[in-house]
């Protein structure tokens, strides 16, 4: 499996356009939003937490979902004729998603620190970056799940809808406290709400009490991981 993982990481890291976009989109969003929110009295670090979570989440989802293309052209089929196991393939893809999820968090944090003067202790920065990054695991798996359902043709539509719902209703951009009651209830069901909790809390220098969010995200990771494996098995048995 390490052979395949190395291959996939090298392949992803030389896809400069994809990586650049993965970092540039959240950084750009941060710069746009930080201005407006700070005018309204919100701390820049609050914006940083939400947007970093968005960047990591979207990058992880994208990597997983792009497996739909490989599945469509028959690359997965080709791999099944090698000793690489299905779980080895899926694990490698999830790992790559996690690798790609780190630069957006780091990028947004860096810009927030340099441009908006967000101040955190060294431990605080580590908690902010690594906390959001670790919380991205369920989204890497959700991306894989989408990739094992979608086709290359309808992938964009699926992916767009999922990112939109998760980021807006999950409260990555707009505080859930401003939502109508019913929508706030829906928000708390979404994994992105809990990722936002981690992002906001750690960015504000706290986060020690994020255990509830960590628990929900871990549960999501378990369920989504199981769903990916079941779906992969069904998909390959059908052939």
Binding residue for another protein, selected from 13, 78, 212, 226, defined by CB under 8 A: 78
| Interface with another protein, residue 16, by CB under 8 A | no
The H-assigned helical ranges of 40-154 are 44-65, 67-73, 75-79, 86-115, 122-134, 137-149
Burial class (CB in 10 A: 0-12, 13-18, 19+), 101: buried
| Interface with another protein, residue 77, by CB under 8 A | yes
Contacts to another protein from residues 81-120, by CB under 8 A = 81-84
| Interface with another protein, residue 239, by CB under 8 A | yes
Q: Rounded to whole angstroms, how far apart are CA atoms 84 and 8?
A: 13
Q: Measured from the CB atom, is 87 or 212 closer to another protein?
A: 87
| Contact characters 34-73, another protein, x per CB under 8 A | ------------------------------------x--x
Closest to 56 (Cα-Cα) out of 140, 121, 116, 148: 140
Q: What is the per-residue burial (b if ≥16 Cβ within 10 Å, else e) of 224-236?
A: bbeebbebbeeee
Q: Rounded to whole angstroms, how far apart are CA atoms 125 and 115?
A: 15
Contacts to another protein from residues 115-134, by CB under 8 A = none
Q: Measured from the CB of residue 152, what is the shortest distance to another protein in angstroms?
A: 12
Residue for token digits 């767009």?
Answer: 160
Binding residue for another protein, selected from 9, 25, 42, 80, defined by CB under 8 A: 80
| Interface with another protein, residue 13, by CB under 8 A | no
| Interface with another protein, residue 74, by CB under 8 A | yes
Q: Measured from the CB atom, is 208 or 237 closer to another protein?
A: 237
Binding residue for another protein, selected from 11, 36, 119, 234, defined by CB under 8 A: 11
Distances (CA, A) of 18 to 37, 61, 105, 204: 28, 13, 15, 30
Judged by the rule CB under 8 A, the positions of this chain that interact with another protein are 3-4, 6-7, 11, 15, 70, 73-75, 77-84, 237, 239
């Amino acid at each position: 499996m390490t052979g395949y993982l190395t291959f996939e990481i090298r392949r992803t890291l030389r896809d400069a356009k994809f990586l650049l976009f993965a970092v540039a989109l959240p950084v750009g969003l941060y710069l746009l939003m930080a201005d407006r929110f700070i005018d309204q009295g919100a701390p820049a670090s609050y914006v940083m937490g939400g947007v970093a979570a968005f960047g990591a989440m979207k990058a992880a989802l994208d990597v997983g979902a792009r497996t739909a293309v490989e599945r469509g052209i028959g690359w997965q089929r080709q791999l099944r004729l090698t000793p690489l196991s299905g779980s080895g393939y899926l694990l490698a893809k999830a790992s790559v998603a996690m690798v790609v999820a780190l630069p957006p968090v780091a990028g947004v944090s860096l810009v927030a620190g340099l441009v908006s003067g967000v101040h955190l202790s060294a431990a605080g920065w580590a908690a902010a970056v690594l906390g959001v990054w670790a919380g991205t695991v369920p989204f890497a798996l959700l991306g894989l799940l989408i990739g094992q359902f979608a086709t290359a043709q309808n992938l964009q539509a699926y992916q767009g809808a999922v990112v939109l719902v998760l980021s807006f209703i999950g409260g990555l951009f707009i505080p859930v406290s401003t939502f109508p009651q019913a929508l706030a209830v829906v928000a708390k069901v979404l994994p992105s709400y809990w990722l936002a909790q981690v992002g906001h809390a750690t960015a504000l220098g706290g986060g020690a009490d994020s255990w509830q969010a960590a628990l929900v995200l871990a549960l999501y990771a378990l369920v989504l991981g199981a769903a990916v494996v079941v779906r992969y098995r069904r998909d390959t048995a059908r052939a």
